[in-house]
Amino acid sequence: MENAPVKTNEANLEELNKKIVEIKRKIVLSEGQKKANVEEWGVDKKQLTEKINELKKEIKSLTAKLKYLYNPSKKNQKLVQQDSSIQQRKRIPLPKGAKNADEGIHILDLQIIDLKKQNDLFHAKIQKKQENLDKLSAEYQKLHTYKKEKTSLIQSERPPETQEEDQNRKLITRLENEIHKMEVQWNEAEHIRKKYRLIKNSLMTDAERFESTLQKMEAAISEQQQEIDKLQSIYQEALEMRDSTKSVLTKQEQMTVASNKTRLRQADEFRRQVEERKAELERLERKIFSTGSKFVHQESGASSGRMDDEDTLIRDSKAQMEANLKKLMGITSVTVSHELIDRFLAQREASARLTYLRNVTEHEKKRLESQREQLSLQLDVFKFSDNRESEVNQEELERVKKDIEEQKKRKAELEIEAERTMVVLQTIKEALVEMLLKLQELDEITAEIQSRRKLTKPANIVAPLPDLLISSNITTEQIVKILEEKVKVGLIAAGILTEGVDTSMSEEVVEELLKPPELVQKSVDDDGSEVTGEKIIRSPSVMSFGIEEKPAAYPQVYSSLIAGRSTGLVSSASPGAGMGAGSEEEADVPSRSFLKRQANLILDAKSRRKFRQQQGQTTRRK
Mean pLDDT of 452-468: 55
Report how far apart, in Å, the C-alpha atoms of 252 and of each of 364, 500, 604 are: 17, 103, 98
CA dihedral (6, 7, 12, 17) in degrees, to 10, reads 100
Q: Residue 357: inside a domain, yes or no?
A: yes
Q: Tell me, what DSSP letter sits at residue 536?
A: B
Name the residue type at position 28.
V
Residue 73: inside a domain: yes
pLDDT at 71: 67
Instruction: Please give the backbone phi and psi of residue 530, each rounded to the nearest 5 degrees, phi first.
Output: -95, 130
Band of residue 565 on the pLDDT scale cut at 50, 70, 90: very low
- Higher per-residue confidence, 459 vs 129: 129
| 561: pLDDT strictly greater than 60 | no
Of all residues in the chain, what percent carry a pLDDT higher than 90? 0
Instruction: Please check the confidence at residue 557 and state whether its pLDDT lies above 60.
Output: no
Please identify, among 120, 137, 154, the residue that sits at the C-terminal boundary of a domain: 137
Give the bridge partners for 520, in sequence order: 536
Task: List, for residues 365-375, the tens digit of each pLDDT value.
Answer: 888 888 888 88
Distance in Å from the first CA to the final CA of the chain: 89
267 band by pLDDT with thresholds 50, 70 and 90? confident
Please give the Cα distance from 542 to 596 (Å, whole number).
Answer: 13
Contact 62, 84 (CB under 8 A): no
pLDDT at 506: 46
CA distance 172 to 416: 58
Q: Judge contact between 358 and 271, C-beta under 8 A.
A: yes
* Whether residues 523 and 612 fall in one domain: yes
Whether 48 maps to a domain, the answer reads: yes
Residue 14 has pLDDT above 50, yes or no: yes
Per-residue pLDDT, 394: 81
126 and 112 both lie in a single domain = yes
Top-ranked range on mean pLDDT: pick from 142-151, 189-198, 370-379 = 189-198
Same domain, 85 and 98: no
Does residue 612 share a domain with residue 539?
A: yes
What string of H, E and C letters represents the secondary structure of 413-475?
HHHHHHHHHHHHHHHHHHHHHHHHHHHHHHHHHHHHHHHHHCCCCCCCCCCCCCHHHHCCCCC
Check whether residue 107 and residue 73 sit in a common domain. Answer: no
CA 42 to chain centre: 26
Q: Which residue has the higher pLDDT, 300 or 572?
A: 300
- 3 or 531: which carries more pLDDT confidence? 3
77-96 confidence digits (pLDDT tens): 666 666 665 555 555 677 77
Per-residue pLDDT of 477-510, as tens digits, reads 777 777 777 777 767 766 666 555 444 444 444 4
Residues 392 and 326 placed together within one structural domain of the fold: yes
DSSP annotation string for 365-430: HHHHHHHHHHHHHHHHHHHHHHHHHHHHHHHHHHHHHHHHHHHHHHHHHHHHHHHHHHHHHHHHHH
Residue 7: the pLDDT is 63
> Mind listing the pLDDT tens digit for each residue in 104-114?
888 888 888 98
pLDDT of 94: 74
For residues 462-485, average pLDDT: 66
- The answer as to whether 483 is a domain residue is no
Mean of pLDDT over the chain = 72
One domain, residues 83 and 47: yes
What is the per-residue pLDDT across 601-614, written as a single tens digit (0 to 9) for each? Answer: 777 777 777 777 77
- 79 shares its domain with 102: no
The alpha-helical segments, DSSP class H, found in 71-100 are: 74-89
CA distances for 88 relative to 82, 91, 575, angstroms: 10, 8, 81
Is 538 among the domain residues? yes
Is pLDDT at 72 greater than 70 in this prediction? Answer: no
Same domain assignment for residues 101 and 80: no
19: pLDDT strictly greater than 60: yes
> Does some domain include residue 322?
yes
Residue 328 φ then ψ, to 5°: -65, -40
pLDDT for residue 367? 87
The pLDDT of residue 569: 37
Q: Is the pLDDT of residue 411 over 80?
A: yes
Do 226 and 120 lie in a common domain?
no
pLDDT at 4 over 70: no
Q: Which of 392, 426, 460 is the last residue of a domain?
A: 426
Confidence check: pLDDT of 293 > 50: no
Q: In 3-state terms, what secondary structure has residue 622?
A: coil
Q: Could you tell me how many residues make up the chain?
A: 622
For position 497, what pLDDT does the model report?
Answer: 60
pLDDT given for residue 275 in this prediction: 85
Of 391 and 519, more confident? 391
* Mean pLDDT, residues 25-45: 82
pLDDT given for residue 341 in this prediction? 76
Q: Using CB atoms within 10 A of its CB, is residue 77 exposed (0-12), middle (13-18) or buried (19+)?
A: middle
Q: Note the pLDDT of residue 85.
A: 59
Least confident of 63-72, 299-308, 315-324: 299-308
Give the best-scoring range by mean pLDDT among 6-10, 17-21, 560-564.
17-21
pLDDT at 126 over 80: yes
454 within some domain: no
Give me the amino acid identity at 115: L
pLDDT in tens, 332-358: 767 777 777 777 788 788 888 888 888
Count the helix, strand and coil residues of the chain and give each as a percent rounded to the nearest 5: 80, 0, 20
Angle at alpha carbon of residue 33, lines to 31 and 34, rounded to 5°: 65
Q: How far apart are CA 394 and CA 400, in angstroms?
A: 10
In angstroms, the CA 127 to CA 123 distance is 6
CA distance 446 to 267: 125
Structural domain range at position 100: 94-137
Residues 27 and 120 in one domain: no
Domain boundary among 90, 115, 146: 90
What pLDDT is stored for residue 534 in this prediction? 36
Close Cβ partners of 544 (under 8 Å, ≥ 6 residues apart): 516, 518, 519, 607
Stated pTM of the model: 0.25
Over 50: is that where the pLDDT of 117 sits?
yes
What b/e string do you get for 580-611 counting C-beta neighbours within 10 Å, with b at 16 or more?
beeeeebeebbbbebbbebbbebbbbbbbbbb
Q: Is there a single domain that holds both residue 280 and residue 205?
A: yes
Mean pLDDT, residues 204-230 taken together = 83
Calculate mean pLDDT across residues 448-460: 62
Residue 531 lies in a domain: yes
How far from chain centre, in Å, is Cα 510?
42
Q: For the chain, what is the domain count?
A: 4
Tell me what pLDDT residue 154 has.
Answer: 62
pLDDT of residue 92: 63
If one compares 258 and 290, the residue with the highest pLDDT of the two is: 258
